[in-house]
Amino acid sequence: MKIEIRAMVPEDADQVAAVEEQCFAMPWSRQSFWEEASHQETIYLLAIDRDNNDQVVGYVGCWVLSGEGDITNVAVAPAYRRKGVARKILERLIELLKEQQVTAVTLEARASNTPAIALYQSLGFKSVGLRPRYYTNPVEDAEIMWKTDMT
């Protein structure tokens, strides 16, 4: 499997929406993705499987405002999970944030999503609290995580 990480372009919106539908009970629409990704303040990176017709297999979205990053989405198609795809996307995002002199980055994760929380912790994110009932379908708390060591 040859995974390449690159920026999202408008033509990717259908494939990104398809990954979203595989991953979430309340998926964003194709239009929502492109509207988010088209803002100057956002970074959207895709994981592309070069061995599978350049299929989009994962993505990450991040707002960058006032020197801080806010990761809005991380998703990997079920068939590609536990293969290092999410790590590769997030490592590239962190590199880009460092290049932009971002000093900290945050995200929320479902409190029950222990594999994701473990991945974020391995990348230097620390849990700082909970957002009660943040998620719906099913209702669940969000673990608030920050990475402040951007060296």
Q: Which residues are catalytic?
A: 108, 120
Cβ distance 120 to 91 under 8 Å?
Answer: no
Phi–psi pair at 135, nearest 5 degrees:
-95, 150
Both tokens assigned to 14: 């259908």
Both tokens assigned to 91: 């490592």
Cβ distance 77 to 46 under 8 Å?
Answer: no
